[in-house]
Structures are given as C-alpha cells and as structure tokens.
Amino acid sequence: MDALQKELKRERYKRRFRKLLKSTVNALIVVAAVAALIATLVLPVLQIAGTSMEPNLNDGDIVLLVKTKDLETGDLCAFYYSNKILIKRVIAAPGDYIWIESDGTVFLNGNALDEPYITQKALGECDVEFPYQVPENCYFVMGDQRETSIDSRSSVIGCIPEDQLIGKMFCKIWPLSEFEFID
C-alpha cells in the first residue's frame, strides 16, 4: 500500500511539474511576442554602424527610437535609404531655407545654426545649390561628422521624405556607461 501511495504522489508531482513548465513556456512566448511588437511598432532598437555621427554616436552603439514624424531642428532621426536604415541630424524642416558656407557654417532661414554637437565644420560632399528650400513633406538632414558624412548635401541621398522616416532617437542604451535620454 505504501508503494502505491508513493507512486501516486510521484505521478501527481510529475503532472504538476509538466503543467507548470507548460504555463511558464507559454508565458515566455507571450512576453517575447509583446516585446517584439513593441520594438517593431512603437520603440525600434537600432545598432549604429559607421562613423558619420561621431563623436555623439559611435560604431556599435545601440539606440532606442520613438516612432514619430514630429521632428525639429537638431533631432536625431532614422530613415530608410536604399534598403538600409541611416541616422542623421535634422537641420531643416519642410519649407525652410538652408545655406552652407564653404567653411561649413550652416544658415537656417538666414540665421547661423549653433551646432555644439559637431567637432569640426566642413562643407563635405555637396552638390546642392544654395540657398536651398526644403521641399514640402521632406527634411534636410546631415551627419555630425561633416567631412565624411553622405547626407542631404548630396543629391545621392537628398532630402528625406516623411514616408521614409522611422522616428527620432529617444535614448542611447549601449554602452551602459554612456546611457542617456535625448531631449
């Protein structure tokens, strides 16, 4: 009789263990699916590749974006270009006039921009004629590494249409020692 009691107890334990394991796996699948949906639809996560945004964003940094099309001058934004995702800084909004001097000084609607985020001014690769008016529903963007960045100054990329925008940078999450929220 003791042997039968022990065997019944063992079977009940196995059944409870399987049920607990199954519910745990199901919960993990749901959490992973919700996280994937949030990362895809609301807060995309990107890893920086390249040097066009140095010194503010370095190769390998990981950033979090918020999906929005409400961009202002100075915001870092991500957009689709030729099956890639690029991150650049918004310099001018639709309808704005832009002028870039040969020394790299940027003028927006007649006023020189204060650009504390760049280390060196440069005209870089530029085939745009100035003054240049940003077309409707487009943004003029530039990398922070002005000498080497290919951006709206080049007709290869040009101004970025709103429908190609992914969103603006919300925070830098990697490396952890440089974690910061972006205004």
The CATH number covering residue 84 comes to 2.10.109.10
- Mind listing the pLDDT tens digit of every residue in the chain (183 residues)? 788 888 888 889 899 999 999 999 999 999 998 877 776 677 777 788 888 888 888 888 989 888 887 888 889 999 988 888 889 999 999 999 999 998 889 999 989 999 888 888 888 888 888 899 999 999 999 998 888 888 899 888 889 999 899 889 988 988 888 888 876
Residue 60 inside a domain? The answer is no
pLDDT at 98: 93
Residue 18 inside a domain? The answer is no
Residue 4 inside a domain? The answer is no
Residue 128 inside a domain? The answer is yes
> Which residue range is the domain that position 82 belongs to?
68-168
User: Which residues of the chain form beta strands (DSSP E)?
Assistant: 45-47, 62-66, 76-81, 84-92, 97-100, 106-108, 111-112, 132-133, 138-142, 160-161, 165-174, 180-181
Residue 7 inside a domain? The answer is no
Residue 174 inside a domain? The answer is no
Beta carbons within 8 Å of 95's beta carbon, 6+ residues apart = 133, 134, 136
Q: How many domains does the chain have?
A: 1
**CA angle centred on 85, ends 50 and 67, rounded to 5°:** 125
Residue 76 inside a domain? The answer is yes
